[in-house]
């Protein structure tokens, strides 16, 4: 018997990185997965984004764990598409218990990073996309009337302004959007507590995924050694692994955290204590 046996989790950005890791970790604990990912490139993002092949690989890996998954391509900026994905998942898997708003972009790389488009895109995906994800899932959670757990992926950049980069609209928008996610978390936690739907946010430090392990991010770090050196953990670890975030989320979604709501959980090797 797993810690999530019989539960169904809706996860955005499931094709690779942390989203895939969350799907696998929750599947190992008995959950079925409804997953979405954009699986295409955005102009303001200066590193390769996930592909349909990545999504297919997530499906394969979940199924290898003897778990069920309904995965589709959908954009978190499109509320209608998210609603369709949730409805299709619930039609096949029967219910919904957990929502992980994980999809995100980092448009702080290259020339486009200084443009308004970079700022707008990151707010649209990383903040409005989180709002859309919750709104798409809420009707099913409320109709079931059995509570639930919603975890929003913010960042240490959602708790601290330390990662600022002058003239980099993508980076400033990233920080703004990730702080905005905390506002959404608090408002929904407050609103949904009477229905026993818990809402929390996680705040990763640097995580070993293609979002920051890419040529463009390396060039940005080389160009801004002082500012980017602020992305250090207090503990002796250069980068966390995606599963470190998944394990914190697993706890937040399990009955072990049944009265934990409205909190910001850093998984950051002590970034926030520096």
Ligand X SMILES: NC(=O)c1ccc[n+]([C@@H]2O[C@H](COP(=O)([O-])OP(=O)(O)OC[C@H]3O[C@@H](n4cnc5c(N)ncnc54)[C@H](O)[C@@H]3O)[C@@H](O)[C@H]2O)c1
Among 4, 12, 25, 89, binds ligand X (CB under 6 A): 12
Q: Residue 132 and residue 134: Cα distance in Å, rounded?
A: 5
Residue 211 touches ligand X, criterion: CB under 6 A: yes
Which of 26, 76, 127, 138 contacts ligand X by CB under 6 A?
76
Which residues carry out catalysis? Answer: 174
* Binds ligand X (CB under 6 A): choice among 9, 24, 27, 49: 49
Tell me if 133 contacts ligand X by CB under 6 A: no
Q: Which is closer to ligand X, CB of 139 or CB of 210?
A: 210
Handedness of CA 234, 257, 8, 194 (dihedral sign): negative
CA-closest candidate to residue 148, choices 137, 132, 135, 159: 137
Asked whether position 19 contacts ligand X by CB under 6 A, the answer is yes
What tokens does 264 get?
Answer: 């910001």
Span interacting with ligand X, options 26-34, 97-105, 183-191, 257-265, rule CB under 6 A: 97-105
Binding test (CB under 6 A) with ligand X, winner from 206, 220, 252, 253: 206
Which CB, 71 or 141, lies closer to ligand X?
71
Part in contact with ligand X (CB under 6 A); list of ranges 59-67, 85-93, 182-190, 209-217: 209-217
Min dist CB 103 to ligand X, Å, is 4
Q: Give residues 215-274 in contact with ligand X (rule: CB under 6 A).
A: none
The answer to whether 75 contacts ligand X (rule: CB under 6 A) is yes
CB of 213 to ligand X, least distance (A): 8
Encode the chain in three state secondary structure.
CCCCCCCEEEEECCCCHHHHHHHHHHHHCCCEEEEEECCCCCCCCCCCCCCHHHHHHHHHHHHHCCCCEEEEECCCCCHHHHHHHHHHHHHHHCCCCEEEECCCCCCCCCHHHHCHHHHHHHHHHHHHHHHHHHHHHHHHHHHHCCCEEEEEECCHHHCCCCCCCCCCHHHHHHHHHHHHHHHHHHHHHHHHHHHCEEEEEEEECCECCCCCCCHHHHHHHHHCHHHHCCCCCCCCCCCECHHHHHHHHHHHHCHHHCCCCCCEEEECCCHHHC
Per CB under 6 A, does 11 bind ligand X?
no
Q: How far is the CB of 6 from ligand X (least distance, A)?
A: 26
Q: Is 125 in the site for ligand X (CB under 6 A)?
A: yes
Sole binder of ligand X in the list 132, 155, 168, 200 (CB under 6 A)? 155
Contact footprint for ligand X (CB under 6 A):
12-13, 15-19, 37-38, 49-50, 75-77, 102-105, 125-126, 129, 153, 155, 204, 206-207, 209-212
């Amino acid at each position: 018997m797993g810690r999530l046996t019989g539960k169904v989790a809706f996860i955005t950005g499931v094709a690779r990185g942390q989203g895939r890791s969350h799907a696998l970790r929750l599947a190992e604990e008995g959950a079925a997965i409804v997953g979405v990912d954009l699986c295409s490139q955005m102009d303001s993002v200066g590193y390769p984004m996930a592909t349909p092949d990545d999504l297919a690989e997530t499906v394969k890996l979940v199924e290898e764990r003897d778990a069920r998954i309904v995965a589709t391509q959908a954009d978190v900026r499109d509320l209608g598409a998210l609603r369709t994905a949730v409805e299709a998942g619930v039609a096949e898997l029967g219910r919904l218990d957990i929502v992980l708003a994980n999809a995100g972009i980092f448009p702080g790389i290259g020339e486009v990073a200084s443009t308004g488009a970079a700022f707008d895109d990151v707010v649209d995906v990383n903040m409005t996309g989180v709002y859309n994800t919750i709104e798409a899932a809420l009707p099913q959670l409320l109709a079931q009337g059995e509570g639930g757990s919603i975890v929003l992926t913010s960042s240490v950049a959602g708790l601290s302004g330390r990662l600022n980069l002058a003239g980099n609209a993508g980076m400033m928008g990233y920080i703004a959007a990730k702080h905005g996610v905390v506002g959404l978390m608090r408002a929904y936690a407050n609103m949904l507590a009477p229905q026993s739907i818990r809402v929390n946010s996680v705040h990763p430090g640097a995580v070993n995924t293609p979002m920051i392990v890419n040529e463009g991010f390396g060039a940005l770090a080389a160009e801004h050694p002082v500012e980017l050196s602020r992305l250090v953990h207090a503990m002796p670890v250069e980068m966390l692994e995606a599963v470190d975030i998944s394990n914190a989320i697993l706890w937040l979604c399990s009955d072990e955290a049944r009265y934990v709501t409205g909190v910001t959980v850093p998984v950051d090797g002590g970034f926030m204590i520096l």
